[in-house]
Amino acid sequence: MPLTPEELHAHALAAADDEQRLPLSRMTGWDISPFEQEGLRTARLLPPVLPEPPRHGEDPADCSSCARRDEGLWLDDRWRLTRVEGVGVPLVLMLHPRDHHDLADLPDDLAAELGVLQVHLTRHVQALPHVARCHVYRIGDGAAHLHVWLFARPEGQGQLWGSWLPVWDDLLPEYPADVADADARVVASALVGSYGGRLGATAS
């Protein structure tokens, strides 16, 4: 039987110290970690909260993504693309279905389109000058409306490799917005050419 939330919490606390702090993760010792291990400590492991609080937009009537279904820098009949503002890496884009779906209830035809769109977007982001990789993330804990993140990993910054990239992004100063906006429109235009759809009036 899988562990209950309470059993999982107790299991984890067995490895924690007297303050209910787990040992530092292996990742903090990687040379791409944004933190030095000396003086670093984990947050206390808190007990589970059940039932979990609802995510934003569980009710489509209150969903901000649904309210903005006609906005974006690129759109087609079923998808829209936006640029995330205020980031530290060269570009962060977000792909949303225009109708209210999460990943687990995405119809098979939209799921197939999602896969193709992610591939096209990755190619176009990686074609930008001084971008080495496009990282693609789906998390889903904050909002019920599916949103897929696409992070442009800058060329040559070896510390920004891998799973620490979103943390580095949060630490870096804001990338020049005019440059990011221009690059986002290059990606959107390339997507019109390779996949279809149309350019939208707004970036975010």
pLDDT, position 202: 76
| Strand order through the sheet with 74-75 | 131-137, 148-154, 92-97, 79-83, 74-75, 198-199
The residue among 76, 74, 79 whose CA lies nearest residue 99 is 79
Give this prediction's pTM.
0.94
Exposure class string for 39-73: b at 16+ Cβ within 10 A, else e: eeeeeeeeeeeeeeeeeebeeeeebebbeebebbb
Place of tokens 């006609």: 70
The reported pLDDT for the residue numbered 203 is: 66
Write down the domain spans for the chain. 1-53, 64-199
- Residue 204 has a pLDDT of 64
Per-residue DSSP letter, 161 = -
Contacts of 29 (CB under 8 A, 6+ apart): 37
Task: Output the pLDDT for position 87.
Answer: 97
What are the b/e assignments for 3-23, b being 16+ CB within 10 Å?
A: eeeeeeeeeeeeeeeeeeeee
Cα 4 from Cα 2, distance rounded (Å): 6
In order along its 204 residues, the chain shows pLDDT tens digits of 999 999 999 999 999 999 999 999 999 999 999 999 999 999 999 999 999 999 999 999 999 999 999 999 999 999 999 999 999 999 999 999 999 999 999 999 999 999 999 999 999 999 999 999 999 999 999 999 999 999 999 999 999 999 999 999 999 999 999 999 999 999 999 999 999 999 998 766
Q: For residue 76, which amino acid is it?
A: D
Q: Which CATH superfamily is domain 64-199 in?
A: HIT-like (3.30.428.10)
Both structure tokens of 34: 């944004």
